[in-house]
Structure 1
Amino acid sequence: MQSRRKLRFRLLISFALFGFGLSALFAMASLYVRAKVENQLVNASLQSDVNQAVESTHADPSKPVGSRLIDAWMFSDRTIYRAPLGWQNLASGVYDMHDVDKDGRPRHYKLAVSRKYSLIGFISYDISREDLGKRQLVASLVASVILFSLLSLAIGMWLSRKVLKPVTELARRLRDFRKTGRAEPLAPYFADDEVGELALALDEYSTRLTAMVERDREFNSDVSHELRTPLAVISSTTELLQGSPDLTDKLRERLKRIERASRQATELIEALLLLSRAERRGPTRGEITDVAKVAADVIESQRPQIRDKPIEVELTQSDPVTVNAPASVLSVALTNLIGNAIKYTLEGRVTVQVEKGRIEVIDTGPGIKPEDAERLFQRGVRGEGAGGSGAGLGLAIVRRLCELYGWDVSIRPRTDANGAIASIVFER
């Protein structure tokens, strides 16, 4: 996961890098200009001086050689052997020379050479001072770069704090709102600028969101009342009809199917309404539900689906398991898992195993691909061979219910035979 840096930190780094880059460019430009100008001036001065010495000697050979610079020599073609060996074959021009002085210390100097009128003139110019000045300049520029960088960092810290103060205040108020849950307008606390526009947009969004939540709450309340009433009528009516002594076995079986469907619809509506409320307020606790009993009721309600199939449905329990959740929530989850197992199994066995802290539904159907196991819990995704019924919402609802109560639900292919294993783990 890529790290997310604060805006203030990014501004601070930008100011620091800008100051460092600007200082470094200034230092490099200063060094380049200094070296170029110095080199041109020294070369021009040396060449002019040696030319002057040659012209003076040519005009009056008896006149001692003079130079406006220190250390000048004049030789002829016959006396050039007296010059240092490294100078004797140099052509006219200016050279950078390195050697040691009489005390054995390194010496850096420029040597100007002029060959004219059978005379060879030399003028040396010690540039050790210039080297020292250059080193001092480099040290000064490095110190300036560091100083300007620190100054840029300090300015960046001050400016970032100043510039981001409204954003920090807006974030603080949003955190307070998240903690307390009390919404109050943000725009009045900020100036009419970009942050103020953002605060106004958040106020408008909060208003729309609050209105939408209120409509959703009212809708849930209406649905709860409007759907429960007819389902209660259907349930009571089927119960009364089953008590009639003149019912045939066929009609009695159909009334039982109506009763089971009514009960499943009631449980599903209660679970969905509970899910809608709990996602805002937290899950409902306080009701202890026996997992094996709910599983047995679900299996009994699924009997009509296996009437025309060579399928055996078996419930086994190795340990008593209870959960702190409404029975309707667990019933909806198990109805989807057990119902899918029966639906996709054409023949064989569906085993519901209640073990310590979990329940598993094992079938002998066609199974699933490992890469499709997680996709089946997405909205609108249905397994292969699902036929034309259903909208692919059952497992998505199961996942939401399990996440609400902290359960782990999963589906995986069997490794020992064809089929799939759906499980809910209640204790992590």
Structure 2
Amino acid sequence: MQLKTKLVLLNTSGFLLFLFVIQMLIYFSFVQIMTNQEMSRIEAQATTVLEAFAQDAVMDVDPVQLLKAYVPTDGMVRLVDEENVIMQVVTQDARLTTLEVDFINRSVSEQLTLGDGERFAKVSVPMIYVDQKVRMLEIVQPLKYIDDALEVLMLVLIISFFIMIIPAVLIGQTIARAVIQPIKRLSVAMQHNQQDGKWETVDFSHRKDELGQVALSFNEMNKRLKRMFDTQEQFVANASHELKTPLAVIKSYVRLIERQGHARPEVIEESLETINHETDRMHHLIQQMLTLVAIEKGEQLTFKQVRLNALLKQVSKSIALAFDRLINLQLPEEDLVIVGDEDKLKQLLYILLDNAQKYSDDAIDLRLKKEGDHILIEVEDRGEGLGELDQEAIFDRFYRVDKARTRETGGTGLGLTIAKAIVHQHEGEIKVESVEGEGTTFQVVLPAS
């Protein structure tokens, strides 16, 4: 069964159920109100009879004739003594004379139903009879006209119920159409995206309800998937390109050895050296790729308190000795501590300092300071600097400002991408500021402990 059909049936059933409950409330309320009104009228009639018998002039009047004056149409009036003996009865309905007699010394109102199903209202009240003794006056009134009215009311309610099925179905279809159409548009967009990869979005900006929120979430998810898909395609393409070059070099030198290795032994040594170099580059590239994938997959980090002053001293000393470079280390007087993964933070600093020494021949400035609730780590070089386009793309995978120079220095174009991922793992931010011809400054902003 289609969702639209289910919604129509559900809405129609709910509407009709609600209508049925309302009609039943109307019916039973009408029954109660009409019955109470009739009971009140008979009680008032009984009071009138009591007042009539209480007058002095009634002594000279035949009690039977007096009761006949107050007998209800198709009803009954009778007097009962304390011994449950019927003293007088006035009625045209013989069925009523068979009603059970039970003397009660208080006012009682009740409903009776005879064997044929006809309903009667009976009011019993004590009275002082003409002989100054206590008797019980009973007035019985048929409720036939109320039952007739209830039958008409029930017929009207039944007819109106079946008539309301038509608007109930129309309302159900309208509601179902309002719900299904946006869902159908979402379904069509999903099918198109799956079939041809167009990454189609839907515009429900006019809707402020849950369906509008679903559409907004769908569009955001679509954009995110498109970015991930584009990034994946670019990553695969770049990785293939990066791996293709060293493989081509290795293959060409292997062929060179095959052709000239026997005649020229020096070619073998040169070729092996180049093959070894390219193999190291490939190994480094693959390691960088695996590291990036592990970070982006959310590998578990070991968070603990890290003393940044000591960490910067250690890393700057290692880089200075490894590359014979001057690093100006500027540390605050207080010992700054954050909660993070020490190995990843160390890798972050190695990437930034290694990047600075590759693109600058002058001294490198490494600064650590605290500003408010954040800790800043700055790495500044005095190299050639970056243009605006380079600053926007510097953290993209495999992006290299100077590909020729990067190949000489062994860069893969993944270092800054890894650095950015590490910073994000620590809920921080990394920025770059650069002026062409003057130098570049990388700033890492981390939350203080």
State the TM-score, normalized to the length of structure 2: 0.43
Q: Which has the larger radius of gyration?
A: 2
